[in-house]
Amino acid sequence: GAGVSQTPSNKVTEKGKYVELRCDPISGHTALYWYRQSLGQGPEFLIYFQGTGAADDSGLPNDRFFAVRPEGSVSTLKIQRTERGDSAVYLCASSLVAQGGGNNEQFFGPGTRLTVL
Amino acid sequence: AQKVTQAQTEISVVEKEDVTLDCVYETRDTTYYLFWYKQPPSGELVFLIRRNSFDEQNEISGRYSWNFQKSTSSFNFTITASQVVDSAVYFCALSGSGNTGKLIFGQGTTLQVKP
């Protein structure tokens, strides 16, 4: 079956612009995660969805970042008034279910490389 | 607070050598999960293993083996007879019991296997 897909693969934008990054999880996976990976670092958690609701958004750096998952499948990460420091690879992952303990492996997409000029 | 430390930033070995990647974690949870992921040059994270805190049995999968020791809060990864295709960045990650399954990653160890 298809894995997690993310579009676009690359996005170059100018400081101050608005961007949307899309994630298509594996079919049937109810849990969806967004992470951000800066150069030379490990991925950092941003937000987690269980179904349609954001169950944990504690990793979002500020209110310029927002994510939705209206139908419990595709998710969109939205960044307003982009800054150069937002440049990173944004990774999406999905898993079958995230019960207490996180005992299911997450399957990662290829990421979207965002460059803010 | 939860934390994962991978003290080795880069390791370089010659093909067929054995290599061990270290991972030390911190958590107050009594139930937690540990993971290893591989990130090849293509960039996509590939799941390697998951281990829960109640299972300290070491695991072997082909040339890969993992040593989990709760007493030292370590979950080390050994590649036996390394190959050039093993060259990648390897991440250790932690997921606690009271949260939502989110992963706390270490900084990663870049492994270069030379022919």
Q: pLDDT above 90 covers what percent of chain A?
A: 81
Give residue A98's pLDDT.
Answer: 53
Least confident of A61-65, A84-88, B26-30, B94-98: B94-98
Chains A and B form CB pairs within 8 A to the count of 84
Q: Do B103 and A43 touch (CB under 8 A)?
A: yes
Name the interface residues of A facing B (CB cutoff 8 Å): 31, 33, 35, 40-45, 48, 50, 55-56, 59, 89, 91, 93, 95, 98-111
β strands within B1-115, DSSP E:
3-5, 10-14, 19-21, 24-26, 32-39, 46-52, 59-61, 64-69, 74-79, 88-96, 104-105, 109-114
For residue B48, give how far its alpha carbon lies from the nearest alpha carbon of chain A (Å): 9
Scanning the structure block, which residue is given the tokens 């960044």? A79
Length of chain B: 115
Which residue would you say has higher pLDDT here, A53 or B78? B78
Q: Do B101 and A35 touch (CB under 8 A)?
A: no
Report d(CA B115, CA B111) in Å as an integer: 13
| Band of residue B54 on the pLDDT scale cut at 50, 70, 90 | confident
